[in-house]
């Protein structure tokens, strides 16, 4: 017997956060688009009132900014509520969730170093995966870093020939 | 006076190099700092340069012990994005392999925990009877590990009907031996004394840290993807979720040992009810979109997120292994316990952490403990308890 997503949570989100737009991809996979200054309140609402668990956060470098996707899992119904927000590349800032949610601590550090997003209010925003000697302004998951890497490779093979 | 006991970061035995900096006062651990990233392999980045069909082989190599879980979650993410229906026979085959892997991974943990506390007999027994499971893998897929059974749209290999009987026979052996050492472990007063009320993770902390799998279920936090968000054949078979409230290492060990029975139960039912028909669906192209795949790996939920832009390579592939959420919870679980328990508490979340080597305690600029000393301390404590119980 498969459980379905709970429509009440989506209704409550719609009433509380008028800027949110909901997309239901599959019965238990929902995506909620929201401006970045409301992410903190929505995440707190999902965690504290709806017993959702922060599964992980995904950061993606897109053409129009960096997309942050918070995957919240509502285990009683088996539904994923994914909060999606876009931060502009010239001002990559979003409020940290780590003050009420320890589960966000590591992944925010990871996104900070790999994509260069500043999580304001994070207690310890130091690099998690990269070495201590890694330059702070070099973000390996950014598209422009990948392009530089590609050029470097082409140049090297050219020299080898 | 505060001293620092560093555990890690490298050892050939240790699959995921982590660095634990224990801050101790006398014998008591007062704080813990965790450093990871010593072996960051950049799988997410590499995956963006590979085709959808190549990635299962890549993500399979993330972890040698749960080498079925990552491709499993990945193919489900792609199937979610492209809305692919897997034929029933493919679903059953994937479920069987997922469950067999759970048993062999739990066996590994029980063996290592025995090794840590100085019960090398448990270690040898358990690893001896892990062999029949690897034999089953070899029978079905030709490999003892890295099985490559998952494929977008179904399973890569069929389980031949003439092998059912042989697999059943192996399962009987595994069940008998599981009973043997479950009884041996759960009835031993020394193991009780050693594991009970040690490394307690409360339910509140479990929820806040978002821990997963047996670590969560041992703390009374009843989450299991197989029940909450059933996929493949998990909602067609009858099994129970094992939950204990205590939150100590003993509860986690009980969860793992008893889960082996549930897995055997699931595999038996799957073999009995295995439908006929094709094992994979035809997949032409992956349309633009995004998908989430989650599988209950032996250590907890594995999470894969795939975003497609319509090409033959994903635009973004996010991977979250369960230990990523479980290891930070050590910060609360290890506080207040003695240094002899620390190695065990850090191993209780099953982080593929099998080493206390290269551990150095500095006192006035001189080495105090080494990794072997830590292991020795742990065993001495067991020895002391053993004498107290007259065994």
Same domain, B293 and B151: yes
Same domain, B369 and B239: no
Residues B127-175: tens digit of each pLDDT: 999 999 999 999 999 988 888 899 999 999 999 999 999 999 999 999 9
ipTM: 0.88
Higher pLDDT, B387 or B91: B91
- The residue of chain B nearest to residue A61, with distances taken between CA atoms, is B316
User: What's the pLDDT at B16?
Assistant: 59
What CATH number did the domain enclosing B33 receive? Answer: 3.30.390
Same domain, B336 and B200: no
Q: Which of A2-11, B55-64, B130-139, B364-373 has the highest mean pLDDT?
A: B130-139
User: What's the pLDDT at B13?
Assistant: 38
Query: Which segment of A129-133, B21-25, B284-288, B321-325 scores lowest on mean pLDDT?
Result: A129-133
- Per-residue pLDDT for B356 more than 50? no
Same domain, B66 and B110: yes
- Per-residue pLDDT for A2 more than 60? no
Share of chain B above pLDDT 70, in %: 90
Residues with Cβ within 8 Å of A147's Cβ and at least 6 positions away in sequence, in order, are none
- Per-residue pLDDT for B376 more than 80? no
What domain range is A23 assigned to?
Answer: 7-160
Closest CA to A103 of B247, B209, B62: B209
Query: Which segment of A92-106, A141-155, B79-93, B225-239 scores lowest on mean pLDDT?
Result: A141-155
What CATH number did the domain enclosing B188 receive? Answer: 1.10.645.10
Closest CA to A72 of A91, A94, A45: A45
Using the 3D structure, point to which of B284, B300, B325 is the last residue of a domain. B325
User: What's the pLDDT at B46?
Assistant: 87
User: What's the pLDDT at B354?
Assistant: 29
Using the 3D structure, point to which of B299, B325, B351 is the last residue of a domain. B325
Same domain, B154 and B239: yes
Same domain, B360 and B316: no
- Our CA-based measurement puts residue B323 at a distance from the nearest CA of chain A, in whole angstroms, of 12
Name the domain count of chain B: 2
Task: Give me the residue from A56, A79, A128 closest to B303, CB to CB.
Answer: A56
Stretch A35-39: mean pLDDT: 92
CB contact under 8 A, B292 and A105: no
Same domain, B291 and B376: no
Stretch A44-67: mean pLDDT: 92
Q: Which residues of A touch B208 (CB under 8 A)?
A: 101-103
Give the integer Cα–Cα distance in Å for B261 and B165.
19
Q: Which helix (H) or strand (E) holds B109?
A: helix B88-116
What average pLDDT does the structure give for chain A?
85
Q: What DSSP state is assigned to residue B84? A: P
What CATH number did the domain enclosing A37 receive? Answer: 3.30.460.80
- Our CA-based measurement puts residue A87 at a distance from the nearest CA of chain B, in whole angstroms, of 17
Same domain, B143 and B276: yes
Same domain, B67 and B173: yes
- The residue of chain B nearest to residue A28, with distances taken between CA atoms, is B229
Same domain, B55 and B153: yes
Q: Is position A2 within any domain?
A: no
Same domain, B109 and B80: yes
- Report CA A147 to chain centroid distance, whole Å: 23
Q: Which residues of A touch B230 (CB under 8 A)?
A: 2, 78
Tokens read off for B88: 């029933």
What domain range is B151 assigned to?
Answer: 43-325
CB contact under 8 A, A29 and B305: no
Name the domain count of chain A: 1
- Our CA-based measurement puts residue B330 at a distance from the nearest CA of chain A, in whole angstroms, of 12
Q: How far is CA A136 from CA A112, A116, A141, A146, B17, in A?
A: 10, 9, 13, 16, 23
Residue B104: CB atoms within 10 Å: 26
Same domain, B335 and B289: no
Tokens read off for B205: 């902390």
Contact A72, A53 (CB under 8 A): yes
- Per-residue pLDDT for B364 more than 70? no
Higher pLDDT, B342 or B248: B248
Give the integer Cα–Cα distance in Å for A128 and A130.
6
Task: Give me the residue from A53, A77, A80 closest to B210, CB to CB.
Answer: A53
User: What's the pLDDT at B10?
Assistant: 54
Task: Give me the residue from B80, B83, B210 closest to A55, CB to CB.
Answer: B210
Give the integer Cα–Cα distance in Å for B371 and B369.
7
- Per-residue pLDDT for B357 more than 50? no
Q: List residues in chain B touching A: CB distance below 8 A.
A: 36-37, 40, 42, 44-45, 80, 83, 207-210, 223, 225, 228-230, 235, 289-292, 294, 301, 303, 305, 307, 315-316, 318, 320, 324-325, 328
User: What's the pLDDT at A150?
Assistant: 55
- Per-residue pLDDT for A153 more than 60? no
Higher pLDDT, A85 or B349: A85
CB contact under 8 A, B80 and A2: no
Q: Is position A20 within any domain?
A: yes
Using the 3D structure, point to which of B325, B341, B356 is the last residue of a domain. B325
- Per-residue pLDDT for A32 more than 70? yes
What average pLDDT does the structure give for chain B?
85
CB contact under 8 A, B305 and A106: no
Give the integer Cα–Cα distance in Å for B121 and B124.
5
Residues with Cβ within 8 Å of B35's Cβ and at least 6 positions away in sequence, in order, are B8, B9, B18, B19, B20, B21
């Amino acid at each position: 017997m498969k459980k379905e997503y709970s429509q009440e949570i989506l209704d409550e989100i719609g009433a509380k956060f008028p800027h949110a737009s909901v997309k239901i991809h599959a019965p238990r996979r929902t995506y909620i688009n929201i401006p970045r200054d409301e992410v903190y309140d929505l995440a707190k609402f999902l965690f504290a009132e709806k017993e959702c668990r922060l599964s992980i956060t995904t950061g993606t470098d897109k053409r129009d900014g960096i997309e942050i996707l918070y995957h919240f899992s509502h285990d009683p119904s088996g539904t994923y509520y994914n909060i999606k927000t876009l931060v502009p590349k010239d001002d990559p800032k979003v409020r940290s969730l780590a003050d009420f949610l320890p589960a966000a601590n590591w992944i925010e550090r990871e996104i900070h170093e790999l994509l260069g997003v500043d999580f304001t209010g994070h207690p310890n925003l130091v690099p998690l995966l990269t070495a201590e000697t890694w330059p702070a302004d070099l973000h390996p998951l950014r598209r422009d870093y990948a392009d530089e890497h590609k050029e470097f490779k082409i140049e090297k093979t050219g020299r080898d020939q | 006076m505060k001293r620092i006991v560093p555990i890690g970061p490298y050892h050939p035995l240790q699959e995921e190099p982590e660095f634990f900096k224990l801050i101790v006062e006398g014998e008591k651990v007062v704080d813990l700092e965790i450093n990871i990233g010593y072996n960051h392999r950049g799988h997410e980045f590499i995956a963006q340069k590979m085709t959808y069909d190549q990635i299962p082989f890549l993500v399979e190599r993330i972890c040698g012990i749960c080498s079925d879980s990552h491709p499993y979650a990945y193919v489900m993410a792609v199937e979610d994005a492209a809305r692919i229906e897997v034929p029933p026979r493919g679903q059953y085959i994937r479920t069987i392999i997922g469950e067999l892997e759970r048993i062999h991974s739990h066996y590994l943990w029980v063996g290592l925990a025995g090794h840590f506390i100085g019960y090398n007999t448990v270690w040898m027994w358990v690893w001896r009877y892990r062999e029949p499971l690897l034999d089953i893998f070899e029978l079905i897929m030709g490999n003892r590990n890295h099985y490559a059974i998952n494929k977008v749209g179904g399973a890569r290999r069929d389980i031949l009907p003439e092998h059912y009987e042989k697999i059943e026979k192996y399962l009987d052996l595994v069940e008998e031996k599981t009973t043997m050492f479950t009884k041996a472990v759960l009835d031993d007063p020394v193991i009780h004394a050693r594991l009970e009320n040690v490394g307690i993770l409360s339910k509140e902390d479990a929820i806040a840290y978002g821990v997963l799998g047996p670590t969560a279920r041992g703390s009374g936090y009843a989450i299991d993807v197989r029940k909450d968000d059933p996929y493949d054949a998990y909602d067609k078979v009858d099994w129970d979720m094992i939950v204990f409230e205590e939150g100590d290492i003993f509860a986690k060990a009980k969860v793992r040992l008893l889960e082996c029975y549930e897995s055997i139960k699931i595999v038996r039912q799957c073999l009995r009810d295995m439908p006929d028909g094709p094992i994979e669906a035809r997949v032409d192209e992956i349309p633009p979109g995004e998908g989430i795949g989650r599988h209950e790996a032996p250590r907890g939920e594995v999470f894969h997120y795939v975003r497609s832009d319509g090409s033959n390579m994903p635009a973004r592939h996010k991977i979250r292994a369960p230990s990523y959420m479980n290891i930070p919870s050590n910060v609360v679980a290890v506080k207040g316990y003695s240094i002899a328990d620390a190695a065990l508490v850090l191993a209780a979340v099953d982080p593929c952490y099998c080493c206390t080597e290269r551990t150095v305690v500095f006192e006035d600029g001189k080495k105090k403990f080494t990794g072997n000393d830590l292991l020795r301390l742990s065993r001495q404590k067991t020895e002391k308890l053993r004498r107290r119980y007259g065994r």
